[in-house]
Amino acid sequence: MRLAGKVALITGAASGMGRATAGLFAEHGARVMVADMLEPEGALVVAEIAAAGGEAIFQPLDVAEEPQWEAALAAVLARWGRLDVLVQYAGISGSNTNNLFDTALWDRIMAVNARGSFLGVKYAVQQMRAQGGGGSIVNISSISGNVGQKGIHCAYNASKAAVRLITKSVATQEGAAGIRLNTVHPGLLPPMRTSGITADPVTRAKMMQHVPLGRDGRVEEVANAVLFLASDEASYITGSEVHVDGGYLAN
C-alpha cells in the first residue's frame, strides 16, 4: 500500500499505460480519477478497479480544453476533497502522417501533448498549494522528448521535449511548496492508439536494434516507475527524468 490515503488524477487512463497505472495505484490504496476522452473504455477501467476492491471514478476530459480541467478539478474535490497526485499520460502520436510538415497536425499535437500537460500542471499546482503544499506530479514524456526519430512529425518530439522542460521549470518554482514534478520517458511500448508507422512491424524491428534489452517494454514496467515517483518513497526526487526504455537513450 504505497499510496494509501492519496487521491490521484490520471489522464489518458482509459487505455495503455494509463490504464495499467490506474489499476496499480488503486491496488496501492489510492483513490483514482480516471480522466480521458474515451468514456466507455474509461468506465470499464473504473469497473475493473471496483471489482478488485479499489475506488475510482471516471471523468470525461479533453486535456487541451481549459474549462474541462476546471471541471475535472471541481469533480475530484467534490468527491474526495483533495488532490495528492497528478499523472499525465493523455497524448497523441506523431507517426500517423505522410506529411511531416502538416501544420494542422502540429497544432493538434502541441495542443494535446504540450498545452494539455501545461494545463494539468497549472491546475494541480494551484490545488496542491491551496491545500498547504506537498504532492507529486508525474508527466509522461518519451524517448522522443530527448532525441529525434526518422518518420515522426517533429511536433511529437517538440511536444514531448516541452513536457520535459515544463516539468523541470515548474519543479524549480514549486520545490518550496513541497510539490515534486518529474517525467517518465517510455521507449518502445505497445503502440499508441494513434500510432502509424511506429506500429509497423518492420519499423519496430529497426527501432529495436537500438534497444539494449532487445524487447518491447510492458505497460506494467512504466506503471511501476510512475508509482515510485508518485509515492513518498521518492520524497527527495524532483525535476528528474526516468527513462523506462530498455536502454534506448544510453546509445
Ligand X SMILES: NC(=O)c1ccc[n+]([C@@H]2O[C@H](COP(=O)([O-])OP(=O)(O)OC[C@H]3O[C@@H](n4cnc5c(N)ncnc54)[C@H](O)[C@@H]3O)[C@@H](O)[C@H]2O)c1
DSSP conformational letter for 141: -
* Residue 63 in contact with ligand X, rule: CB under 6 A: yes
By CB under 6 A, the count of residues binding ligand X is 30
Residue 186 β-bridge partners: 244
Smallest gap from residue 157 Cβ to ligand X (A): 11
* Residue 246 in contact with ligand X, rule: CB under 6 A: no
Contact range with ligand X by CB under 6 A, out of 13-21, 71-79, 172-180, 206-214: 13-21
In the sheet that holds 241-244, the strands lie side by side as 55-60, 31-36, 7-11, 85-88, 136-140, 180-186, 241-244
Distance, in Å, from the CA atom of 186 to the CA atom of 68, rounded to the nearest integer, reads 27
Contact range with ligand X by CB under 6 A, out of 30-38, 79-87, 121-129, 199-207: 30-38
* Residue 91 in contact with ligand X, rule: CB under 6 A: yes
Torsion of CA 215, 216, 220, 223, to 10 degrees: 120
Q: H-type helices in the chain, by residue range?
A: 16-27, 39-51, 66-80, 103-109, 116-130, 154-174, 201-208, 219-230
Residue 248 a catalytic site member:
no
* Residue 61 in contact with ligand X, rule: CB under 6 A: yes
Contact range with ligand X by CB under 6 A, out of 33-41, 76-84, 167-175, 225-233: 33-41
Cell numbers 508525474 correspond to 138
* Residue 23 in contact with ligand X, rule: CB under 6 A: no
**Quick one: 124 or 189, whose CB is closer to ligand X?**
189
* Residue 45 in contact with ligand X, rule: CB under 6 A: no
Point out the residues that are catalytic.
156
